[in-house]
Amino acid sequence: MMLRGLWKLTWIELKIFLREPLGAVGTIVVPVLVFLVVGRLLGRGLAPSALAANTFIGVGLPVLASVLIAVSSVLSLVTIISIYREGGILKRLRATPLRPQTILSAHVVVKLLLTAATLGLMLLAGKRYYPVCVHAPLFGFTIALLISTWSVLSIGFLIASIVPTARFAQPIGAFIMYPMIAFSGLFVPVVLLPPAMRAVARVLPLTYAVSLLEGIWKGDAWSSHLGDVAALVVVFVICTAISAKVFRWE
Amino acid sequence: MGPVIQVVGVRKTYGATVAVDEVSFEVKDGEIFGLIGPNGAGKTTTMECIEGLRKPDRGSISVLGLDPFRDVYKLQDRIGVQLQQAQLQKRIKVWEAADLWASLYQKKAIDAERLLKQLGLTEKRDAWFMNLSGGQKQRLFIALALINDPEVVFLDELTTGLDPQSRRAIWELVRGIRERGKTVFLTTHLMEEAERLCDRVAIIEHGRIIDIDRPENLVKRHCPERTVILATDDPAAEERFRAIPRVEAVNRSDSQFTIRGRNDDLVTEVIHCLSENRIRVTDFRTILPNLEDVFLKLTGHSIRD
């Protein structure tokens, strides 16, 4: 019964999202285009051997693009939840037999679907125009990105539970999420950071997401990244537990 | 059968503010029960406690034999709710909302399309929520409140912000709900709405219930005054009017007389006096008190203040 509600709600929320002006364009088309343009500009004229040697184009850029997709879906989730709360939509949904977790799950599923779709398109397009994609394990990487997004979305819930109004949701979310990218080891490997920053990086969930994504992209076995997956699961459990306590419906 | 809703000694505070206190009443099966009072009197808080959306600090509530807070999901399955100031997703279509709501309840009851038709929403079934008029939104919310064929329907400030025509149409709908054997619990700050719609009303102010009864009984109990206004040129009229039994005041301004008393028979007595004395009148009106006057009397101020 509740599964039927979850399925219906997810499907409707997905349709509603795609009806938003810039909904599909902003989430799917723009990241794919940016990825292609940057990849072509940087990769032009480099021999394949040089591409492999250049870790930013070879590994950093695809992972950065993926992390940006994840972060943008978190920000979008934070905004939607706060708009729904401010407009009384959450309250109206709660005055039904719907369980709160069903309502929230529907949004998570929508975000995961959009993330997977964006990534899929990015990689398909990349296979043609962007040589490093050819050898990347697409299926494994998609799974890694879904696990990362799912975990990072729980941070989104925590932010959404705390921000007072919809107006603040997007800036506060961005203020929390974007610095995480700087610390995540994407630009400077975590081991090379000064000790204080390294300590910060170790507690930020995005660090583990980046480590997992880079590893899988480079062809590492999942067994060597179980620690990253475990860390992401722990983040999910903690954030979900806290937001369940402090979540406000109105 | 016992009462459908039973509220005993409910108190709810928000910080230092006492929203409702010592609220007790019962709602019987099949009636339209109205909680009336000005904005901020505690109507919505009371209703949301009964719906299981808020937990009272003290007191007990039973709805259809269930504890609304503990058995909230079981209760939600059997009641229909329209909330004040609720919204739906801006770009959800009318039929999608009905379809979603229909999928949320255990029992498969009402055909969503037929319900939309009954509420005059068929033409709007593909419209986005954000593009509906205020009246259409309210009708959609009523449809959603009825979609599970509920035993009790809760309507919070149903017609606020609507034009008189939509308001009348919605009153008809609510009467239709009662005719289908449902119990209706509504709140309103419109006395006319309460008077026309409710079988019984509870007057609430500053979080406390002042009185509960049928609207006409409340009027009889608290505002027994009757007033007749008439116009006549008969020079003997004033003296005759003063002789009517239990008349309390006769005021004259030119040819217009205002006759006051606090007796149901006043109007009959005046008519009797006119015909017995063959007094010719050019105007005859009666002024009967209504719930608005009851409210004024009980609280010392108008509900609109």
The tokens describing B182, both together, are 């449902």
Of B87, B101, B106, the CB nearest to A1: B106
Binary contact (B101, A96; C-beta < 8 A): yes
Chains A and B form CB pairs within 8 A to the count of 58
The tokens describing A106, both together, are 């529907």
The tokens describing B130, both together, are 């954000």
Residues of B in contact with A13 (CB under 8 A): 89
Q: What is the pLDDT along chain B (305 residues), one digit of tens a residue?
A: 689 999 999 999 999 999 999 999 999 999 999 999 988 899 999 999 999 999 999 999 999 999 998 998 899 999 999 998 889 999 999 999 999 999 888 877 688 888 898 888 999 999 999 999 988 999 999 999 999 999 999 999 988 878 888 888 889 989 989 998 999 999 998 999 999 999 999 999 999 999 999 999 999 999 988 999 999 998 888 999 999 988 999 999 989 999 999 888 899 999 999 999 999 999 999 998 999 999 988 888 777 65
* B83/A contact by beta carbon, under 8 A: yes
Report the C-alpha gap between A125 and B50 in whole angstroms: 56
> Across chain A, how many H-helices and E-strands are there?
13, 0
Contact B88, B131 (CB under 8 A): no
Q: What is the pLDDT averaged over residues A63-81?
A: 83
Residues of A in contact with B86 (CB under 8 A): 88-89, 91-92
Contact B198, B215 (CB under 8 A): yes
Report the C-alpha gap between B117 and B121 in whole angstroms: 6
Return the top range by mean pLDDT from A134-148, A152-166, A194-208, B173-187: B173-187
Measured between CA atoms, the residue of chain B closest to residue A102 is B104
How many angstroms away from the CA of B267 is the closest CA of chain A? Answer: 50
Q: In sequence order, what are the residues at sequence separation of 6 or more whose Cβ sits closer than 8 angstroms to the Cβ of residue A9?
A: A98, A102, A103, A106, B100
Output the pLDDT for position B228.
Answer: 94
- Nearest C-alpha neighbor of B59 from the set B28, B92, B25: B25
Distance of CA A140 to the CA centre of its chain: 16
Q: What is the pLDDT averaged over residues A211-226?
A: 89
The tokens describing B201, both together, are 């009303």
A106-126 confidence digits (pLDDT tens): 988 998 888 888 888 877 777
Contact A210, A188 (CB under 8 A): no
Cα angle for residues B125, A103, A98 (degrees, 5° grid): 80
Identify the contact set of chain A against chain B, taking CB-CB distances under 8 A. 1, 4-5, 8-9, 12-13, 15-16, 19-20, 84, 87-89, 91-92, 94-99
3-state secondary structure of A143: helix
Output the pLDDT for position B305.
Answer: 57
Name the pLDDT band for A103 (thresholds 50, 70, 90).
Answer: confident
Name the pLDDT band for A48 (thresholds 50, 70, 90).
Answer: low
Binary contact (B85, A88; C-beta < 8 A): yes
**Residues carrying CATH 3.30.70.250, chain B:** 224-288
- Report DSSP letters for A50-94, one per residue: HHHH-HIIIIIHHHHHHHHHHHHHHHHHHHHHHHHHHTTHHHHHH
Q: What is the pLDDT averaged over residues A188-200?
A: 83
Residues of B in contact with A16 (CB under 8 A): 89-92
Residues of A in contact with B103 (CB under 8 A): 4-5, 8
The B208-213 sheet, strands edge to edge? B79-82, B152-156, B183-188, B32-36, B200-205, B208-213
Contact B101, B113 (CB under 8 A): no
Measured between CA atoms, the residue of chain A closest to residue B90 is A16
Residue A12 has pLDDT above 80, yes or no: yes
3-state secondary structure of B49: helix
Output the pLDDT for position A43.
Answer: 62
Q: The domain B224-288 is classified under which CATH number: 3.40.190.10, 3.40.50.300, 3.30.70.250, 3.40.50.2300? A: 3.30.70.250
| H or E segment to which residue B183 belongs | strand B183-188
Binary contact (A13, B88; C-beta < 8 A): no
Residue A53 has pLDDT above 60, yes or no: no
**Residues carrying CATH 3.40.50.300, chain B:** 5-219
Residues of B in contact with A98 (CB under 8 A): 104
Binary contact (B87, A88; C-beta < 8 A): yes
Does ipTM exceed 0.90? no
Quickly count: other Cβ atoms within 10 Å of residue A48's Cβ: 11
Instruction: Report the CATH fold assignment for B5-219.
Output: Rossmann fold (3.40.50)
Of B77, B87, B96, the CB nearest to A97: B77
Output the pLDDT for position A130.
Answer: 62
Cα angle for residues B225, B226, B231 (degrees, 5° grid): 140
- Nearest C-alpha neighbor of A70 from the set A189, A213, A220: A213
Pairing of strands B58-63, B79-82: unpaired
Return the top range by mean pLDDT from A19-28, A31-40, A72-81, B97-106: B97-106
Quickly count: other Cβ atoms within 10 Å of residue B180's Cβ: 10
Output the pLDDT for position A134.
Answer: 59
